[in-house]
Each structure stands twice: as C-alpha cells, then as structure tokens.
Structure 1
Amino acid sequence: MKTRYLIIGAGPTGLGAAHRLKELGADDYLVLERHGHAGGLAASFRDDAGFTWDIGGHVVFSHYAYFDALMDSLLGEERLEHQRESWVRSHGSWVPYPFQNNIRYLPREPRWECVEGLLPGNRSEAAPENFAQWFEHIFGAGIARHFMAPYNFKVWATPPELMQFNWIGERVSVVDLRKVLKNIILAQDDVAWGPNNTFKFPLHGGTGEIFRRMASLQGDRIRYGQEVASVDALAKRVTTLDGLEVEYDVLLNTAPLDRFVAEWMASPDSALVEAASGLEHNAVHVAGVGLDIREERERNSRCWMYFPEKDCPFYRVTNFHNYSPNNVARPGEQLAFMCETSHSAHKPEKIDELMDRTVAGLVNTSLLDQSRVDDIVTRWETNVDYGYPVPTLSRDASLRAIQPRLEELDIYSRGRFGGWKYEVSNMDHSVMQGVEWAERMVTDTPESTYSWE
C-alpha cells in the first residue's frame, strides 16, 4: 500500500491533520490507529452501569478561530457552557483557585506563613534554575510549602528540582502581594484568572464524542487495530503488528516520541536514542466513582478540585456529573467523581490498590461520607502509561536534537507526546498542531503552535 501522507494515531492531532488535509483537497492520506476507537487520550468510555468517563479532566476552550468553528460544525447546539468553579483542598478548608490569590480561606497560621513568604526581603532574588526554585522565587516559602511543592509533585510525579519553568506561560497565575493583602482584608475572592474560566462540554458522550464525530468524517481513511511495529525511515515504509505495510512520502507521528525513536525506527541512530532518553513522562490512573444522590447536601457546584495533601492519592477530582447531566446513568439523580493519580519511577504507586485508596481519599477529603461507601454503584478505572510529557531540564535539548533530524527524513512528530511540549498540548493546541502541519505540507504555511526551538 502506498500513500503520500501517512499519519500515526487517530487522536486530536492526527484527526486534526486528516481533517485539514481533506479540506485542502489533499486526498492521498491514511491514518493508522492502534486501538479500535479514535480519540487517543481524549476518548471517552461508557461503563456497565451507564456512566460515561473521560481519561482525565478535559474541557473545551480555545485560542483559535479555526478550532472554534470546527467545534461549532461538529457539535452545534449539543454542548453546554460552564463558568469554571475550581477549588483547592488545604488544611481542611476549600480554597478557591488560584490558591495564591485566595489564601484568606486558610486557617490563620498557614495564612500568615503564606503572607510572610511574600513580604519584601523574604523571597530569593537569585535567578531560579529549576521549577522548585522558581515557585519559591515567585510565591515565597509559605505558598511553596503549602501548595506549590506538594501539588506539583503529586501531578507531575517528578521532583520539581528536575523540571524547567519556561513552560509556564498562562498555566500558572503569578502572585501580587498587594492583591493578596487586599483580598484578605476586604474578604473578597479572585477566581476569574486563566484561559479556561469559561469552558464548553459535549451534551452527550463525553469529550470523546468530539473525536468520534471527527473520525466518522474520515471513513476508511482510518485503519483501526493497526499498531506500529517498525518504521524504516530510509525506505519510507511503516509496518504494523498486524502485518500491514504502508509506503509513504511524508510521515506524521503523534505517538510517543521516545518510543518512536528508540523502539520503532529500523537501525535507530544512537544519537537520537540517547536524546530520547532525556524525555520523561508520568503515567496517570483514572478512577471513576459513581453513586446515587441520597440528600441534597451531597450536591455542589464545583467543576474540579485540586488536592496537594497526603490524605488522598489523587491530585484532582472532577465532578463529572456537573459537566453534563448525561455523564451519569440517571441524569440529575447521581454523582460521578473522576479522580486522577499520577505515578512514575519517582513516585511509584500500587495500581491494584489505587481504587480502594481513591475511595478512602474521597472520604478523607469530605467529598464522600463514610456511610456512603457501600452505596457506590460503579467503580471504573483505567491506567494510561503516558499521562503528561514532563518539561524536565533535559527536554528542550532532546527535542532540538531529535526533531530537525526527523524532518530531514520527512518525518514530523506532533501532538501531546509526539511533540512532547506540555505547554501546547491542550485539546485545541493538539488539534491545531495537526491542522498547521497539514497546511505546511500543502500550502507551505509556517506552523505557529509547535516549535522545538
């Protein structure tokens, strides 16, 4: 089999690329997907109890007019819009997000420690060299100790000392001492920060419904159940475990870059393999816990919650019943807690114990009363080996070594793990990486979302 454009992966980036190629009239393309479904990490699943679950907490917000128009065409009116309401559980209190802007909710002693760390002369003025030094430099010792350090280790499963901070951009709200003090003294909240302070969500089918609909437009251009076994970059040929051989002119890879280089490439370049060893990632266990609502007090309007402390394994819980009433089997009558726990060599977890620990954590953090544990009607879980690409100190050097060499071979690697840049791996970013790659191939338009430089 021969095709001009071969795409590995029918996740957001691969589907974005296929969609745009088709729009541009470049019809000679094929997508290989190892699973029997599309969506990648943005897929959704319906369990035996009738609950729908995502692979973690996805929300739809956008930086791009093209992406907005695409969502309009795919979902139309079949989506809901929400005002973000997110909280941090700390010291037995619920603190509105961003934590650093709303420390007035903390008990007095940690509240003072957070303010004290922000006072003139208490923050290091030396230029930070890693993420841990950066958040002490920006937020002071108190906020670092009570939130930034423990939370970031829980979510990344990587010591912040091993991470860079250039990725941060709009993802972390920095802090202003005057604003912090004003919020405390005037007892006012500051919760509107961030690009996702409003977001949308499909009415039916979870986040995966978006990509099911995108994939349905591709027909037989997507070959499911075709996991890549090898890539012969010189012969420009991909072979799958199922025995399918596809020759190509140009290859778009959206699978994990480290695996592509170290495991799939025939006669791999030792320099590329060494560079790939500098790419680190975590894994994420997603546990869905569903139960019937017994009393009205069990409801709350929160969208999602962050958990920096050690009384639970998860770093985030999403009230998935609030995203769409159809995420539960009986809309309006059930709760769906979607809980995420990271793990890695730096932070090992016993996967077979995580569901029980998750339920205990829901009790410890007041989301679930102990008397309700026996009322749980569904426990759904999945573990993904590649959860987040970690922006380590070695990442950028690895990408600068790998990506130009691949492009010399007409291989382009994009997407959350194909591009390995967390800062451009939101849903909109990921789709647009594929769209912009297609435009570069067909119209020679430069890409703007992804760069390794």
Structure 2
Amino acid sequence: MKKKYLIIGAGPTGLGAAHRLRELGADDLLVLERHGHAGGLSASFKDDKGFTWDIGGHVVFSHYEYFDALLDSLLGDERLEHQRESWVRSCSTWLPYPFQNNIRHLPPQARWECVEGLLPGNRPEAAPADFGQWIEGVFGTGIAKYFMNPYNFKVWATPLELMQFGWIGERVSVVDLRRVLRNIILERDDVSWGPNNTFKFPLHGGTGEIFRRLAARLDGFIEYGQEVAAIDASARTVTTKAGLTVEYETLLNTAPLDILASRWLADRDQTMVEAADRLTHNSVYVAGVGLDIQREAERNPRCWMYFPEQDSPFYRVTNFHNYSPNNVARPGRQLAFMCETSYSAHKPEKLDELMDQTIAGLVNTSLLDAARAADVLTRWETAVDYGYPVPCLERDGALKAIQPRLEALGIFSRGRFGGWKYEVGNMDHSVMQGVEWADRMISGTPETTYRWE
C-alpha cells in the first residue's frame, strides 16, 4: 500500500491533520491507530453500570476560530456551557481557585505565612534555575509550602528542581500582593482568572464524542488495530505489528516522540537516541467512582477540585456528573467522581491499591461520607503510561536535537506527546497542531502553535 500522507495516531492531532488535508483536497492519506477506537487521551468510555468516563479531566475551551467552528459543526447544539467553579482543598478547608488569590479562606497562621512570604524582601531576587526556585521567587515560601510545591509534585510526579519554568505562560496565575491583601481585607473571592473560566462539554458521550464524530468523517481513511512496529525512513515505509506495510511520501507522527526516536526508527542516530532518553513523562491513574444521591447535601456545584495534601492520593477530582447529566446512568440522581493520581519512578504507586486509596481519599477530603463508602456502585479505572510530557530541564535541548533530524527524513512529530510540549498540549492546541501541519504541507504556511526552535 502506498499513500502520500501517512499519519500515526487517531487522537486529536492526527484527526485534525487528516480532516484538514481532506478539506484542502488531499485524499491520498491514511491514519494508523493502534487501538480499536479514535480519540487517544481524549477518548471516553461507558462502564458496565452505565457511567461515562473520560481519561482525566478534559474541558473544551479554545484559542482558535478554526477549532471553534469545527466544534460547532461536530456537536451543534448537543453541548453544554459551564461557568467554571474550581476549588482547592488545603488545611482541611476549601478555597476558590486560584489558591494564591483566595488565601483569605485559610486558617490564620497559614494565611499569615502566605502573606509574609510575599512581603518585600522575603522572596529571592536571583534569577531562578528551575521550577522550584521560580515558585519561591514568585509566590514566596508560604504559598509554596501550602499549595504550589506539594500540588505540583503530586501532578508531575517529578521533583521541581528537575523541571524548567519557561512553559508556564497562561498555565499558572502569578501573584499580586496588593490584590491578595485587598481580597483578604474586603473578604472577596477572586475566581475569574484563566482561559477556562468558561468551558463547553458534549451533552452525550463525554469528551470522546467529539473525536468519534470527527473520526466518522474520516471513514475509510483510518486503519484501526495497527500498532507501529518499525519505520524505515530511507525506504519511507511503516510496518505495523499486524503485518501491514505502508509506503509514504510524508509522515506525521503523533505517538510519543521518545518511542519514535529511540525504538521505531531504523535510521536513528546516537544523538537522537540520547536526546530521546532525556525526555521525561509521568503516568496517570484515573479512577471513576459512582454512586446514587441519597441526600440533597451530597450535591455541590463544583466542576473540579485540586488536592495538594497527603490525605488523598489524587491531585484532582472532577465532579463529572456536573459536566453533563448524561455522564451518569440515572441523570440527576447519581454522583460521578473522576479522580486522577500521577506516578513515576520519583513517585511510585501500587496500582492495585489505588482504587481503595481513592475512595478513602474522597472520605478524608469530605467529598464522600464514610458511611456511603459501602454504597459505591461502580469503580472504573484505567492507567495511562504516558500522562503528561514533563517540561524537564533538558527538554528543549532534546527537542532541538531530535526534531530537525526527523524533518530531514521527511518525518514530522506533533501533538501532546509527538511534540512533547505541555504548554501547547490542550485539546484545541493538539487539534490545531495537526491542522497547521496540514496547511504547511499543502501551501507552505508556517506553523504557529508548535515550535521546537
């Protein structure tokens, strides 16, 4: 089989690329997907109790007109729009997100430590060398102690001194001492920060419904159950474990870049292999806990919540029943807690114990009454080896060593793990990486979302 454009992976980036190629009149293409379904990390699943679960807490917000129009065409009116209500659990109390703007809710001693750390002369002024130093320089020791340091380790499963801080951008709300003090004195909550303060969600089928519908438009252009075994860039062929060989002119990879560079590629050189070894990632365990509502007090309007402390294994819990009533089997009458726990060599977890630990954490953090633990109807779980690409200290240098060598071979690598840049790894970013790659291939338009230089 021979195709002009071959795409590895039917996740958001691969589907976005294939869809855009077809819009531009290029039909000589094929997408290889190792699973039997599309969507990648944005897929959704229904368990045997009728609850729908995502692979982590996805919400739809956008930086792009193209993505907005695509979503409109895919979902139409079959979507909901929410005002974000996000909270942090710290010191056995709840604070509106972002933490640093709402420390007035903390107990007095913790509140003072956070303010004291922000006072003039109390924050380091030297240029930071890593993410941990950046946190202390921007937020001070108090906010670092009560939220930033423990939360970020729970998320990344990576010591903060091994991470860079150039990725942050709009991902983290920085702090303003005047604003913090004003909120404390005026007893005002400050919750509007961030690009996702409003977000959309499909009415049916979870986040995966978006990509099921997009994949349906590409019927006949996707081969499922085709996991890549080897890539021969000299012969321009990809061989799968199922025995399929496809000859291509141009290849777009959306699978993890380290696997491509160090395992699949026959033409790899030692520089590329060593660079791939410097890329790091965490893994994520997702637990779905569902049960019936017995009392009105069990309802709350929160969208998702952050957990920096050690009384729970998870770093985030999503009230998935609030995203769409159809995410539960009996709409309006059930709760669906979607809980995420990271793990790595730096933060090992016993996966076979995490479901029980998750339910205990829900009790410890007041989301679930201890007496209700026996009432859990469903315990859905999945473990994702590649959860987040970690912006480690050596990432940028590794990308500069790998990406130009791949492109010289006619191979382009994009997407959350294909490009390995967390800061452009949202759903809209990922789709648009594929779209912009397609535009570049057809018309030479420069890519703007993903840059490795």
2: CA distance, partners of 1:178 / 1:34? 52
Query: In structure 1, what is the equivalent of residue 271 of structure 2?
Result: 271
Give the letter aligned to residue 232 of structure 1: D
Question: 1:17: how far off?
Answer: 0.1
- The CA deviation string for residues 67-107 of structure 1, in whole angstroms up to 9 with x for no partner, is 00000000000000000000000001100000000000000
Answer yes or no: is the 8 Å Cα contact 2:307–2:316 preserved in 1: yes
Query: In structure 2, what is the equivalent of residue 123 of structure 1?
Result: 123
Identity rate, percent: 77
Query: In structure 1, what is the equivalent of residue 32 of structure 2?
Result: 32
Query: In structure 1, what is the equivalent of residue 353 of structure 2?
Result: 353
Question: 1:310: how far off?
Answer: 0.2
- The CA deviation string for residues 149-194 of structure 1, in whole angstroms up to 9 with x for no partner, is 0000000000010000000000000000000000000000100000
| 1:408 aligns to 2:411 (yes or no) | no
Give the letter aligned to residue 77 of structure 1: D
TM-score (norm 1): 1.00
Classify the secondary structure of the residue corresponding to 1:220: coil
Q: Which runs of 4+ in 1 moved over 3 A?
A: none
1: CA distance, partners of 2:220 / 2:113? 60
2: CA distance, partners of 1:338 / 1:219? 31
2: CA distance, partners of 1:65 / 1:307? 34
1:392-431 counterparts in 2 under 5 A?
Answer: 392-431=392-431
Classify the secondary structure of the residue corresponding to 1:387: coil
| 1:215 aligns to 2:221 (yes or no) | no
1: CA distance, partners of 2:109 / 2:338? 32
| 1:56 aligns to 2:40 (yes or no) | no
Query: In structure 1, what is the equivalent of residue 441 of structure 2?
Result: 441
Answer yes or no: is the 8 Å Cα contact 2:234–2:267 preserved in 1: no
TM-score (norm 2): 1.00
Query: In structure 2, what is the equivalent of residue 303 of structure 1?
Result: 303
1:279-318 counterparts in 2 under 5 A?
Answer: 279-318=279-318
Question: 1:268: how far off?
Answer: 2.5
Query: In structure 1, what is the equivalent of residue 260 of structure 2?
Result: 260
Query: In structure 2, what is the equivalent of residue 225 of structure 1?
Result: 225
Query: In structure 1, what is the equivalent of residue 369 of structure 2?
Result: 369
1: CA distance, partners of 2:366 / 2:186? 28
Question: 1:267: how far off?
Answer: 4.4
Q: CA RMSD in A?
A: 0.4
- The CA deviation string for residues 114-165 of structure 1, in whole angstroms up to 9 with x for no partner, is 0000000000000101000000000000000110000000000000100000
Question: 1:216: how far off?
Answer: 0.3
Question: 1:242: how far off?
Answer: 0.3
Question: 1:269: how far off?
Answer: 1.1
Question: 1:266: how far off?
Answer: 1.2
Classify the secondary structure of the residue corresponding to 2:437: helix
2: CA distance, partners of 1:268 / 1:219? 33
Classify the secondary structure of the residue corresponding to 1:238: strand
Give the letter aligned to residue 75 of structure 1: L
1:41-190 counterparts in 2 under 5 A?
Answer: 41-190=41-190
2: CA distance, partners of 1:414 / 1:396? 15
Classify the secondary structure of the residue corresponding to 1:235: coil
1: CA distance, partners of 2:352 / 2:271? 37
**Structure 2 segments unaligned to the other structure (5+ residues):** none
Question: 1:220: how far off?
Answer: 1.2
Give the letter aligned to residue 213 of structure 1: R
- The CA deviation string for residues 343-375 of structure 1, in whole angstroms up to 9 with x for no partner, is 000100000000000000000000000000110
1: CA distance, partners of 2:144 / 2:373? 34
Give the letter aligned to residue 262 of structure 1: S
Classify the secondary structure of the residue corresponding to 2:415: coil
**Structure 1 segments unaligned to the other structure (5+ residues):** none
Give the letter aligned to residue 327 of structure 2: N
Aligned length: 453
2: CA distance, partners of 1:297 / 1:204? 26
2: CA distance, partners of 1:213 / 1:80? 17
Question: 1:302: how far off?
Answer: 0.2
Question: 1:276: how far off?
Answer: 0.4
